[in-house]
A and B are shown apart, each in its own frame.
Chain A
Amino acid sequence: MTISSRHILNTALLVFLGLIPFITDWMGDSFYTGLVARILILAIAALSLNLLIGYGGMVSFGHAAYIGVGAYCVGIGAFHAFEDGIDWMLNGYVQLSAALLGSALIALIIGAISLRTRGVYFIMITMAFSQMLYFSAVGVETYGADDGLTIYLRSDMLGLIDLNDEKSLYYLIFASLLVVLYLMHRLVESPFGNVIRGTRSNEARMRAIGFSPYKYRLTAFVIAGTIAGYAGFLMANLNDFVSPDMMHWTRSGDLIIMIVLGGMASLFGPLYGALAFLMLEELLSSIPLTIGGLHVGEYWQLIFGPLLILIVLFARNGIDSFLPQPRKSS
């Protein structure tokens, strides 16, 4: 394998992200560590969704639901540990297992039903399921209903890593991103990944040559959901807060926008997309301009929308199109 300028760019980005806590220390403003950590978590979720959308052609419009499931596993555990003194529920490994198994199980159920449909129906049904989870969370008074749940105690990782230390938490998130990137890299080039990509390309032919795509697509759906659940576990610990809003369909839409913005058919696309999306949000919403008594920053989406349309119109594969191209794309 030759080292292309694409590799250098991606590596430079990762090195930069790895240095963020020190850079913000030096700048004397740790706010940005938190912001970048949030971006990386959403990038992990977007990467997992890209397995479905970019490689599998399954436009799941409810991916934020799994983030919510993972996050609530932390929130509920912390709640009972804090309110009722049930210590084992603060155990990070218990919470993590619950987050992974819970999101996997829910993805299995939602996927098993949704994957029997195609196209717009698939989009609608995955969105409907995620809204069901959203309203379920809104309905549970014990856990704060639509006000959400403040987490007073972060997951206890039994001394292996201290999540209360912002740097440690950042590096856990950063390392997780690296692992997920490598996992996706292996996955899409494996026999399994070939089936997923082949089914997106030509499902009729896949069946004709002897594949039954359903079980492979369902497996991909569960893998993606589980990774998103893991992102939720991280998110809850970073924000010290969970709420139904994390599962709202607009959050799922944000993830799709990140993928479209960054470039669907590429490994790093969702990372670039998540970075661009949240930086633009931060940047545009702090525009210090007032027109006729209205703060332009409050209506940042008015600027972001047209920008997104321009990118979709002029760059077929989002930000990825502007980066040096690898030898082939498929």
Chain B
Amino acid sequence: MTANDILIVENLVKRYDGLLATDELSLTVREGELHAIIGPNGAGKTTLIKQLTGEIPSDGGKIIFNGRNLRRHSEPKRSHLGLARSFQITSLFQNFTVLENIRLAVQAHSGHSFQFWKKVDENKKLNEPAHKILQELELEEQANTPVYSLSHGAQRQLEIAIALATKPKMLLLDEPMAGMSGEDSERLIERLAALKSRYSILLIEHDMDAVFSLADRISVLVYGRAIATGTPDEIRDNEEVRQAYLGEES
């Protein structure tokens, strides 16, 4: 544990009716690092993300983000501290346009919303940052398209765009490539590589090519525990990991 750890997870526990989804899990993410988490289905990866964001309460352990213990911080509060997530199962504002989706995330971080009169359409403080993100993620052409008529690939892009619009310090990306075509996921790998320098990222992903090309470090999660953490090379050579997980695929 060093001073430049942005996220420190210590002995985190989550129990579901006697099933230990997260079992005394400890891990750290360094500032500016892309830390990938891999593991078989049911290893507790999404549960971990939900605990980190505060969507579900933890049954034990500690989460320290940017020097702050998150125990008493609600999910919205954690977003304001700089923790942003994308969802494994696309979770957008379906009947809003792409621009409106991003603008709402910008709005969440532009002071309170007890403003009853001025139209959001005409609010520069919300629209300019939103357009910047549209540009960055190459979603400009679809700015006024309602989300429900967007392709799956574009919806996955928007997932990340919304997370970025909250001005985060750290991104928690839950299988951002889920269901993407080969071409789309390659574009996303490039995109994540570019984001890497600006944000600390915790990445959950099944696509091993993506994980091994992007990650600085990888943790392997099995039954709610991190059985190994290390650089991609170390993980590739780790006997225990090969048996528990990689062995099935290689």
A197 proximity list for chain B (CB < 8 A)? 96
What string of 1s and 0s marks CB contacts (under 8 Å) between B77-101 and chain A?
Answer: 0011000110100011111110010
Bound together, the chains give a CA A208 to CA B55 distance in angstroms of 8
Q: What is the size category of the interface that chain B forms with chain A? A: 35 or more
Bound together, the chains give a CA A209 to CA B113 distance in angstroms of 13
Interface class of chain A by DSSP:
helix
Q: Is the CB of B107 closer than 8 A to any CB of chain A? A: yes
B92 proximity list for chain A (CB < 8 A)? 202, 205
A330 touches B97 (CB 8 A): yes
Q: Is the CB of A328 closer than 8 A to any CB of chain B? A: yes
| With contact pairs A201-B93, A210-B108 given, residues A186 and B75 touching in the complex (Cβ less than 8 Å) | no
Residue of B at shortest CB range from A212? B76
Partner of A201, one of B94, B114, B144: B94
A205 proximity list for chain B (CB < 8 A)? 87, 91-93, 162
Q: Is the CB of A298 closer than 8 A to any CB of chain B? A: no
What string of 1s and 0s marks CB contacts (under 8 Å) between A139-162 and chain B?
Answer: 000000000000000000000000
Q: Is the CB of A207 closer than 8 A to any CB of chain B? A: yes
Partner of A191, one of B53, B85, B97, B118: B118
B91 touches A194 (CB 8 A): no
B115 touches A190 (CB 8 A): yes
Bound together, the chains give a CA A232 to CA B71 distance in angstroms of 47
A195 touches B55 (CB 8 A): no
| With contact pairs A201-B95, A207-B55, A212-B74 given, residues A191 and B107 touching in the complex (Cβ less than 8 Å) | yes
What string of 1s and 0s marks CB contacts (under 8 Å) between A170-202 and chain B?
Answer: 000000000000000011011111110110011
In angstroms, how far is the closest chain B Cβ from the Cβ of A195?
Answer: 5
Q: Is the CB of B242 closer than 8 A to any CB of chain A? A: no
Q: Is the CB of A216 closer than 8 A to any CB of chain B? A: yes
B117 touches A198 (CB 8 A): no
Bound together, the chains give a CA A193 to CA B96 distance in angstroms of 13
> Which B residues contact A (CB, under 8 angstroms)?
53, 55, 74-76, 79-80, 84-85, 87, 91-97, 100, 103-105, 107-109, 113-121, 123, 126, 144, 146, 162, 165-166
